[in-house]
Chain A
Amino acid sequence: MSDRGLNATGIETSLAERRIPVLSPLGELVNAFLEWFGSLAIFAWNVARAACTPPYEWRELVRQLDEVGSKSLPLVALAGAAIGAVLAMEAQQSLTQFGAKALFPSAIVFSVVTEMGPIITGLVVSGRVGAGIGAELASMKVSEQIDALEVSAVSPYRLLAAPRILACILMMPLLTVAADFCGLMMGWVAGTLFEPMSLHRFIESGFNGATMSSFLPPTFKTAVFGLIVGLIACFQGMTTTGGAEGVGRAATKSVVLASLFVILADVVLVKFILVVFPL
């Protein structure tokens, strides 16, 4: 092909035209994703800048800590307990089969604390909080309340987005600890029903050989989940358009994208933690 450009001859133009329909669905998808990601990055930058400069919205932050934290606690605790029970039943079965019953406490402790607790918390919170924030901000957006804030010279990034995202980041590790605790307790209860064991022994042998560095990183990685959930929900909510339908769309998209990115981030973070804090 000559370097006079694609449009230099008619033939090349028509070739290029004919290739568009083949490439465009994928191309469009990639394009849409890049565009979405770019806007998300600009949004994140605006929030970060607003969050780092006074005035700080302490009252709003406290309200959101309660909204995200205390109000998610029952759900997260329940999910953690259920996972603990399920893990215990499965582990009993398979460990007995392989003659490794003595490993039961460590198996529960490790699977709950390093993976199941964090990811379950991340997903439950992206469902509850993602939908809540997405829908709340979207309904403020479509009823022009966010425009009204802006016109009153109050930054919506500072007043709305920053406290919500910060609350998600701060609360996620705490909620994870709660989920872990409930998971371990239920794991012990379920295990004990199968084969009695004192809680003291369960804890002692479960945490035997474990160090801080095997528990802290998996717990604190959930702060990243919090960032993802808060950021995506605020972004989807504050940029939605078009009436009640837009509100529904923002809530759905918040949950779907937040869950998806929490799972993807988990893959990356697990690898990262394994490399940086080898067992």
Chain B
Amino acid sequence: MNSFISKPPDLPTVSSAATNDQSVASANRSPVVDVDNVYKSFGAQHVLNGVSLTVHPGETRAVLGRSGTGKSVLLRLIVGLQEPDSGSVRIFGQDIAGLSLDRLAPIRKKMGFLFQHAALYDSLTVGENVGFPLNHHRADMSKSERDERVSQVLSEVGMEKQSDKMPAELSGGMQKRIGLARALVMDPELLLLDEPTAGLDPIGSAEINELVLKLQKEHHIAFIVVTHDIHSARTIADRLTLLDKGCVVMDGSFEELKSSDNEFVREFLKHS
């Protein structure tokens, strides 16, 4: 994989990633996420069959695919909630296979994760939910600094007025945005978002897309965004991965996707 290192640096590489200058630049930095040939089954059901994917610093990758192809499972593998049957997952250059909770902790503190169903703590208020990671990991911040940070991210997702509500009092789309705020609060270097705009109205989704673009620009965060919304993927993502039956059908920019003559890709685009 690193074979080009041994070549003189000015020789062109034959890697397919070298098609434009930006990806050459990013290929030289080590990837934030490097999923290599991962397999995952549940009993007799093969969910992922050799999926590979890399994300470089500051890069946004959208993961698309039909319902049940294993997009959420892929995210759970990346964050270490599940282990692959084979293949490797490297985050910030470190292989996370078999790491204990304590060894994973420093890696996870640099990641934010938005669950598909938000997964808010239902015994805590919205504000406490968002402040939860800070309360546990940022003893160096004073209470007022933490509160300020919480209201800052809440207003970024447009939920600053909901701070004292309980999660059960919110709609699904609002819970999703609180979940996003909680994922953002620690200033992560890598954000994994499982369908951030599902269940949001068009204005709400546009706002989330804008927020993602803003975070890319200002904080240079790397994203993996699972989405069914091809327009949102086009707006925010540098590269797209299309999964089908646990395999990567297509990996490239939106233009490459559009000009692909793969049957599944064309079928997928036709209906979205």
Contacts and interface: CB of A to CB of B under 8 A. Distances in A.
A100 interface: no
B92 interface: no
Interface in A149-165: 150-155, 157
Interface of A: 55, 140, 143-145, 147-148, 150-155, 157
B79 interface: yes
B101 interface: yes
B165 interface: no
Given A151-B79, A153-B108, A144 B133 contact: no
A140 B121 CA distance: 8
Given A152-B132, A153-B137, A154-B136, A147 B81 contact: yes
B111 interface: yes
A220 B263 CA distance: 71
A147 to B, nearest CB: 5
Contacts, number: 50
Given A150-B81, A152-B133, A145 B122 contact: yes
Interface stretch (B45-53, B112-120, B222-230, B244-252): B112-120
A144 B182 CA distance: 14
A140 B120 CA distance: 10
Contacts of B234: none
B105 interface: yes
Contact of B119 (A145, A154, A155, A157): A145
Interface string B90-116: 000000000001101110110101010
A171 B252 CA distance: 60
Contacts of A150: 81, 101, 108
Given A150-B81, A151-B108, A153-B137, A143 B132 contact: no
Interface centre among A144, A148, A155, A157 (most CB of B within 10 A): A148
27 contacts: A140-B122, A143-B117, A143-B122, A144-B115, A144-B117, A144-B119, A145-B119, A145-B121, A147-B76, A147-B115, A150-B81, A150-B101, A150-B108, A151-B79, A151-B108, A151-B111, A151-B113, A152-B108, A152-B132, A152-B182, A153-B106, A153-B108, A153-B137, A154-B132, A154-B133, A154-B136, A155-B101
Given A153-B106, A153-B137, A154-B136, 20 more contacts: A55-B136, A140-B122, A143-B117, A144-B119, A145-B120, A147-B76, A147-B81, A148-B113, A148-B115, A148-B119, A150-B81, A150-B101, A150-B108, A151-B79, A151-B108, A152-B133, A152-B137, A153-B108, A153-B136, A154-B132
